[in-house]
Amino acid sequence: MPSGELRDMEIKEYAKTSKIPLKTLRWMERIKKISNPLSDDDLIGLKLLENLWGLHDFLRPQLSQKNIKHRKALIDTCDLETKWERYAFSRFINLEPDKRLFMKNLIAEIETTYRFKLSIFEIRKLYRVRKRAQRAKERLVKKELNEGMKMANNDLRKSELDFAK
């Protein structure tokens, strides 16, 4: 395509044929890394980004700059589409074992914080997020329990003490 045709391309139109999601392109516009409509420079930069998008050798050094806790949190929430879903997930994950978070209270929190009313479909989504967080916590507890058992089985002094009793 001649550059004159590309010059007036809107972000939404570009996203239809791009590997880069519309939401990411909109974010890039919001932080003023690209403009709308896209300039020639924007298109050159986006083409480079598309060539690298999703490549392990491109992702690995970026992820290595984050600590393991942040990497795991990113992986756990990467397919949650909205900020409020990620917020809800973190609220459930960070909940102390003896505490409860009622859905009614969380819905009110989300509606107040993000300034919109959750629809019935979004409330259903919230229940799925809760279930997902519960399963993640169960896996974490199970993993910690298994690691604790391995440590106890591998510690000869502990084994001797248990045996002597």
Q: What is the DSSP string of 3-72?
A: HHHHHT--HHHHHTT-SS-HHHHHHHHHTTSS-SSPPHHHHHHHHHHHHHTT-HHHHHHHHHTS-HHHHH
Alpha-carbon span 76 to 86, nearest angstrom: 9
**Same domain, yes or no: 48 and 106:** no
Within a 10 A sphere around the Cβ of 43, how many other Cβ atoms? 17
Residue 66 included in any domain: no
Asked if 86 and 159 sit in the same domain, the reply is yes
Residue whose tokens read 């990467």: 78
Rounded Cα–Cα distance for residues 142 and 130 (Å)? 18
pLDDT at residue 156, rounded to an integer: 58
Same domain, 113 and 141: yes
> What DSSP designation does 77 have?
H
Q: What is the C-alpha separation between 33 and 146, in angstroms, rounded?
A: 46
Those residues whose C-beta lies under 8 Å from the C-beta of residue 26, and which sit 6 or more positions away, are: 11
Q: How far apart are CA 11 and CA 37, in angstroms?
A: 6
**Backbone Cα Rg of the chain:** 23
Structural domain of residue 140, as residue ranges? 80-164
Residues 49 and 92 in one domain: no
Do residues 91 and 144 both lie within one domain? yes
Are 90 and 145 within one domain? yes
Q: What is the pLDDT of residue 155?
A: 60
Is 88 in the same domain as 49? no
Give the torsion sign (CA, 122, 127, 132, 134). Answer: positive
Give me the pLDDT at residue 85, please. Answer: 95
- Rounded (10°) CA dihedral 123, 127, 133, 134: 160
Please indicate, yes or no, if residue 155 is contained in any of the structural domains.
Answer: yes
At residue 153, the pLDDT reads: 65
- One domain for residues 13 and 48: yes
Residue 131 belongs to some domain of the structure: yes
* In the chain, % of residues over pLDDT 70: 85
Ranges under pLDDT 70 in the chain: 1-7, 150-165
Q: Are residues 92 and 55 in the same domain?
A: no
Distance CA 80, CA 68 (A): 19
